[in-house]
Amino acid sequence: MAPGKPILKITGMLGALVAVVLVLTGRASADRYPLDTLSPKSDLTREILWLFKEVTILDSIVLAVVVVALGLAIFVFSSRTGEPGAPSVKHSDMWLEMAWTIIPALILIAITVPTVRTIVHTQPDRWPQGALTVRVVAHQWWWEFQYPSLGVTTADEVHIPANRVVHFELVSEDVIHSFFMPAIGGKRDVVPGQVNQITLDADVPGEYWGQCTEFCGTEHADMRFRAFVDTPGDFDKWVAHQLEPPVKPDSGPAADGAKIFANAPCAICHTIKGVSGFSKEYNFGFRGPDLTHFGERTTMAGSIMDNTPENVAKWIENPDAVKPGVKMPALGLSGPELSELVAYLESLK
C-alpha cells in the first residue's frame, strides 16, 4: 500500500467528523441563512431536528470507532504473517462474533425506534379542535393560500397564528411541487389529483422563508413564499383586514389604473374581490394570484422580489424577462398607462 493513502483516508474522515461537529454545535448555521433547518420554530421541525441530531451523534460514534479500528489495523497490526510483530490468526471466536452481531443490532434499534416515533408524530392525523385549516394551492410558479373557514384567499405570503395547530391541505393545479418551510414545517410533495397534509404548531412569531423543493419546470427555483407566524392578536387583525373590501380609488393615477385593470386582460386571471374574478369561461387555462390586498404584501411574483412600484412595473412590462417561461403574458403597457396600473395595484392595501 502506498504510504500516503491511509493518511489521506483518515484526514478525510476527520474532516467529515469536524463538519458534523460544526453542524451540531450550530457553528455552520446562523439566522442569516433563511432556509436553515437547524433553527426550528415549531413542534414539527424541532422533533425532526432532534431525530437528525440523535442519528448523527450515533453515526459519529460508529465512525469514530471504525476510524480507530482502521488506524490500529493500519499502523499497529501491519506486519505480515511470519514477520516479527505479526498478529496471531484466529479462525473463529464466538464472543467476537456475538459482539459484532449484537452491537449493530442495538444501534439499529436505537435509530429505528425514534425514527418510527417521529414518523408517527409528524403524521397529520392529530387534529385537535380549533385547528386552523389552510389550503395551499401550488401553481407554476407561485403559491396560493386559501382559508376556507375564514373566507380569505391570498398568494405568495401565508399568515398563521402562533401557538395554534395549523393544518395545511396541499393541492396542485398543474405538476408535482413540494411544500417546504425549513423553520416551521415540511417538506411534503404537492401532487395533482391528491390532497396531502401537514399539521404543525409554530410557536415563535416571525417571518420565515418557504421554497418549492420538487423540480417543477424552468422557474422551480423561483417558486418561493414567505410564512408569517403572527401573534394571535396580529393574526386576527390580519384576517379582519383581509375580509375588508378592496380600496376603490376615486381620483388620481390609481383611479385611472383601476379602469386600465378592468379593461385589460388582467381581470380575466386575477381576482380583486368585488371588481374582477377569475373567469372559467374566458381564461387562458390558468389562474393568477388574488390581488384584493396586493399592496400590503411585502413580496411578489412567487416571493422573488420586494413589492415596490419599480418591481411591479418591471414585472408587468415583461414578466418573461423576470421569470422566463412564466404564464403571465406581457400586455404591451408602458409609459403613463403602466405607472397608473402600478399605482392602482399598490393602492390595494
Q: Using CB under 6 A, list all residues that contact ligand CUA.
A: 138, 141, 177, 212, 214-216, 220, 223
**Distance in angstroms (rounded) separating the CA atoms of residues 271 and 287:** 9
- Residue 206 — left, alpha, or beta (φ > 0 → left; ψ -120 to 50 → alpha)? left
**Nearer of residues 246 and 289 to ligand CUA, judged by Cβ:** 289
**Nearer of residues 141 and 238 to ligand CUA, judged by Cβ:** 141
**Distance in angstroms (rounded) separating the CA atoms of residues 139 and 142:** 5
Cell of 349: 392595501
Strand 177-181 and strand 206-212: pairing? antiparallel
Residue with cell 390609481: 254
CB of 219 to ligand CUA, least distance (A): 8
Number of Cβ within 10 Å of residue 86's Cβ equals 12
Residue with cell 474532516: 15
CB of 143 to ligand CUA, least distance (A): 8
CB of 194 to ligand CUA, least distance (A): 15
CB of 192 to ligand CUA, least distance (A): 12
Whether 38 and 44 have beta carbons less than 8 Å apart is answered as: no
Cell of 340: 397608473
**Nearer of residues 211 and 242 to ligand CUA, judged by Cβ:** 211
**Nearer of residues 44 and 190 to ligand CUA, judged by Cβ:** 190
**Distance in angstroms (rounded) separating the CA atoms of residues 148 and 150:** 6
CB of 142 to ligand CUA, least distance (A): 9
* DSSP conformational letter for 220: G
CB of 38 to ligand CUA, least distance (A): 23
Residue with cell 403574458: 329
**Nearer of residues 136 and 342 to ligand CUA, judged by Cβ:** 136
CB of 226 to ligand CUA, least distance (A): 16
CB-based contacts of 87: which residues, under 8 Å, 6+ apart? 77, 79
**Nearer of residues 212 and 266 to ligand CUA, judged by Cβ:** 212
**Nearer of residues 172 and 292 to ligand CUA, judged by Cβ:** 172
